[in-house]
Amino acid sequence: MGMTMTQKILAAAAGLDKVEAGQLIEANLDLVLGNDITSPVAIKEMEKMKVNGVFNKDKIALVPDHFVPNKDIKSAEHCKCVREFARRNEITNYFEVGQMGIEHALLPEKGLTVAGDVIIGADSHTCTYGALGAFSTGVGSTDMAAGMATGKAWFKVPSAIKFNIVGKPDKWVSGKDVILHIIGMIGVDGALYKSMEFVGEGIANLSMDDRFTIANMAIEAGGKNGIFPVDALAEEYMKEHSTRSYKIFEADEDAIYDEEYTIDLSSLRPTIAFPHLPENTHTIDEITEDIAIDQVVIGSCTNGRLDYLRIAARVLEDRHIAEGMRCIVIPATQAIYLQAMEEGLLKIFIEAGAIVSTPTCGPCLGGYMGVLAEGEKCVSTTNRNFVGRMGHINSEIYLASPAVAAASAITGKISSPYELDM
């Protein structure tokens, strides 16, 4: 029996010729990631271990991004803890305010994640880096502490689901619609502790930003990780952003998959996840009644990259958001912010009546920069819409693509960009 792409990466990292689903292994780590919420817990746990520093100061990334710039005293103290730990241990990849970005957009941009890597992060959306052909997964803060101390982690080798991607998406269909369609199809536990492996000729019609989005939300289907094969576009991205060598792994032809699905991109429509789970999906054509909204958020580690800001700007240009609407745009990194400014995108957003924030997770987790009051509804390009996720437990979040979010900001209700006759 052959191995999947994920299984091959884990076997190599464990120094084994072969692994099988369910097998327990100890693997060497290429990167350990933490943010301002999870790192302080890991730092305290690491102090209990009484180890002499970190295993490799170049293979740890600390990215304050959730409550940064600090929203209150407690968040400031968390960041101080991380900052002092980074200085004590001379952590190479510590990103302070002015350099920071949303972690899962920043690390690939900085060239810290490449194909063949094994990456753990104390954040559930660490699975983002599978877009580059890496094995990356979220862990708890205790596992992060052990990883920082030893450079190793234990894994149960996951079984896999194959998603064969075919066709070409329509103008306003993006990676967010693809992954929401998949989650709606298999459910929030449909890939529980499994590797979601994306293959097929249709991948060539997905941008790197689309792939990052799809891999990012693998966890919303319960997946251990999401992963894409390394094609010319992925190699081009890595060569542009990184000086690190990378290793390409390919699944064996006789690799075993628990299930296989075919996703025809040409048949997909803009898709929205209604409250209060990402699996509660409806296409824009299935919405028959007006759903008035109070706020739109365009950003996050899912949809704050440049391609998506460009899409939102195309929808918002020469238009204005609805009266009483709040529209918040959050570029995912400083570099994306700067490029958006140079391309005139920020001017489009501001003239349309939106506000533009410094890079931060902000409202995605109900942190700040857009917390919802009781009864309010928000269309958001973020990745979770659980009860109380963005504020009051009686608020509602509708997950959507930047195109749908921008169109909804203009009309004041959940809307399709097709309705605007562009």
Q: Which residue in this structure is represented by tokens 């689901």? A: 161
Q: What is the pLDDT of residues 275-297, one digit of tens each?
A: 999 999 999 999 999 999 999 99
3-state SS assignment for residue 245: coil
Q: What is the pLDDT of residues 341-369, one digit of tens each?
A: 999 999 999 999 999 999 999 999 999 99
Q: What is the pLDDT of residues 29-43, one digit of tens each?
A: 999 999 999 999 999
Burial bucket for residue 280 (CB in 10 Å: 0-12, 13-18, 19+): middle
Angle (CA) 207-210-216 rounded to 5° is 140
Q: Are 204 and 231 in contact (CB under 8 A)?
A: yes
Average pLDDT, the chain: 95
Arithmetic mean of pLDDT, 395-414: 97
Asked if the peptide bond before residue 104 counts as cis, ω within 30 degrees of 0, the response is no
pTM value surpassing 0.85:
yes
Arithmetic mean of pLDDT, 290-315: 96
Report the alpha-carbon distance of residue 137 to residue 122 in Å, rounded: 9
Asked if the peptide bond before residue 69 counts as cis, ω within 30 degrees of 0, the response is yes
Tokens of 412: 């004041």
Report the alpha-carbon distance of residue 303 to residue 11 in Å, rounded: 32
Report the alpha-carbon distance of residue 295 to residue 328 in Å, rounded: 8
Could you give the C-alpha distances from 161 to 106, 178, 196, in angstroms and in order?
28, 16, 5
Nearest to 109 by CA among 307, 301, 242: 242
Q: Are 157 and 25 in contact (CB under 8 A)?
A: yes
| Strand partners for 28 | 152
What is the number of other CB atoms lying within 10 angstroms of the CB of residue 98? Answer: 8
The pLDDT, as a whole number, for residue 51 is: 86
Looking at residue 151, its amino acid is G
Query: 326-329 and 295-298: which strand pairing?
Result: parallel
Position 421 confidence tier, pLDDT thresholds 50, 70, 90: low
pLDDT value at 195 more than 90:
yes
Residue 87 makes CB contacts below 8 A (sequence gap 6+) with none
Arithmetic mean of pLDDT, 122-126: 95
Domains, the chain, in order of start with CATH, read 5-264 (3.30.499.10), 270-420 (3.30.499.10)
pLDDT value at 422 more than 70:
no
Q: What is the pLDDT of residues 229-269, one digit of tens each?
A: 999 999 999 999 999 999 999 999 999 999 999 999 999 99
Burial bucket for residue 43 (CB in 10 Å: 0-12, 13-18, 19+): buried
Arithmetic mean of pLDDT, 85-105: 94
Report the alpha-carbon distance of residue 216 to residue 237 in Å, rounded: 17
Arithmetic mean of pLDDT, 394-404: 97
The pLDDT, as a whole number, for residue 52 is: 85
CB neighbour burial string for 174-209, b if at least 16 within 10 angstroms, e if fewer: bbbbbbbbbbbebebebbeebbbbbbbebbeebbbb
Looking at residue 223, its amino acid is G
Q: 375: left (phi > 0), else alpha (psi -120 to 50), else beta?
A: left
The pLDDT, as a whole number, for residue 100 is: 85
Q: What is the pLDDT of residues 52-74, one digit of tens each?
A: 899 999 999 999 999 999 999 99
pLDDT value at 165 more than 70:
yes
pLDDT value at 340 more than 80:
yes
pLDDT value at 217 more than 80:
yes
